[in-house]
């Protein structure tokens, strides 16, 4: 298994594309392993840095009656098993300070959800574990305002940080992805990841759940790479229409290998173009 420093260096210093991908939520162990194995194989073939992601609890569902996941203990057990058996780095999100240290023992990357990106104590607790921390930009923040979030993390001792763009609220039930945010946030000195699938989400558009436009996720992913993104965050599922969370914006697993091949070529091209400036 890669050390924490090696995982960070593979993202920070590598010229390769980084992919953070997996299902929205842990539905069951079998689905998680299916997705992780498939993506690991594709990423190894393409030379992509791969980090598996899944949530043990979707604490911000539109309705309190919809599926949230297996919970902290059972969910972390699944993530730790994937990490150990497949030898891939694993990411999950944390919502409270109490969850941070338990999650840090089971995964490699801690994620601060977009809705919680201004929670100072949560950010401080996460970075003090020494783990890589992914700070997702809130839908309510400008890219410039993420500088203050990053400053909080750095002042708490954070050195291994990722910053993820996931779209900005645009009226009711809609998001817009402003590609200017990528070069703006790269100026803060940390890798910028683009969340292609949450950026095509239609929050609350289904009444008791969110809608989405999954066909547009690859389009935005390519735009983000052209704008200089260091990596992509993508949620995927063997059958998105049957997924228990965020199905409308998830990419079918069967499409991922083909899409990744194109993303990898575009990422390499943009790195060459950047050298000409």
Residue by residue, DSSP assigns 65-77 as TS---S-HHHHHH
- pLDDT confidence of residue 57: 92
CATH code at position 118:
3.20.20.70
What is the rounded average pLDDT for all residues in the chain?
A: 94
CA distances from 110 to 58, 90, 125 (A): 15, 9, 10
35-92 pLDDT, tens digit per residue, is 999 999 999 999 999 999 999 998 876 667 778 899 999 999 999 999 999 999 999 9
CA atoms within 13 A on the CB side of 136: 26
**Based on the structure, what is the number of domains in the chain?**
1
**How do beta strands 132-136 and 109-112 pair?**
parallel
- pLDDT confidence of residue 277: 64
- pLDDT confidence of residue 13: 75
pTM of the shown model: 0.96
- pLDDT confidence of residue 91: 98
Looking at the DSSP bridge assignments, the partners of residue 111 are 93, 134
Mean pLDDT, residues 174-182: 96
CA distances from 252 to 38, 214, 235 (A): 12, 9, 9
Q: What is the span of the domain harbouring residue 118?
A: 4-275
List Cβ neighbours of 198 (8 Å cut-off, separation of 6 or more). Answer: 114, 166, 167, 175, 233, 235, 246, 249
Give residue 194's region: left, alpha or beta (phi > 0; psi -120 to 50).
Answer: beta
Q: Where are the beta strands (DSSP E) in 74-227?
A: 90-93, 109-112, 132-136, 161-165, 168-169, 175-176, 192-195, 201-202, 211-212
For residue 1, the SS3 value is coil
95-136 pLDDT, tens digit per residue, is 999 999 999 999 999 999 999 999 999 999 999 999 999 999
Give the CA-trace dihedral at 63, 121, 78, 59, to 10 degrees.
0
CA distances from 11 to 70, 134, 138, 268 (A): 30, 12, 22, 14
Mean pLDDT, residues 137-156: 97
Can you read off the two tokens belonging to residue 246?
A: 């965020």
Question: To which residue do tokens 């790195």 refer?
Answer: 271
Residues in the chain: 277
For residue 152, the SS3 value is helix
């Amino acid at each position: 298994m890669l050390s924490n420093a090696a995982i960070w260096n593979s993202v920070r210093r590598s010229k390769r594309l980084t992919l953070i991908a997996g299902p929205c939520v842990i539905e069951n162990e079998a689905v998680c392993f299916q997705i992780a194995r498939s993506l690991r194989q594709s990423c190894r073939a393409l030379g992509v840095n791969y980090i598996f992601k899944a949530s043990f609890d979707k604490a911000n569902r539109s309705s309190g009656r919809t599926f949230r996941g297996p919970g902290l203990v059972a969910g972390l057990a699944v993530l730790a098993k994937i990490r150990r058996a497949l030898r891939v780095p694993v990411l999950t999100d944390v919502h409270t300070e109490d969850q941070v240290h338990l999650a840090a023992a089971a995964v490699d990357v801690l994620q601060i959800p977009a809705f919680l990106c201004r929670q100072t104590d949560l950010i401080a607790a996460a970075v003090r574990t020494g783990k890589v921390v992914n700070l997702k930009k809130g839908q309510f923040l400008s890219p410039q305002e993420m500088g203050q979030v990053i400053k909080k993390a750095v002042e708490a001792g954070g050195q291994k940080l990722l910053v993820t763009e996931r779209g900005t609220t645009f009226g009711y039930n809609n998001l817009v992805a402003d590609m200017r945010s990528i070069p703006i946030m790269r100026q803060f000195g940390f890798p910028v990841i683009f969340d292609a699938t949450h950026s095509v989400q239609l929050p609350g558009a289904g009444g008791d759940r969110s809608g989405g436009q999954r066909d547009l996720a690859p389009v935005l992913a390519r735009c983000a790479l052209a704008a200089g993104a260091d990596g992509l965050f993508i949620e995927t599922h063997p059958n998105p229409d049957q997924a228990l969370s965020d199905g409308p914006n998830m990419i079918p697993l069967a499409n991922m290998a083909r899409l990744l091949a194109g993303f990898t070529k575009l990422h390499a091209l943009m790195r060459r173009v950047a050298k000409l400036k």
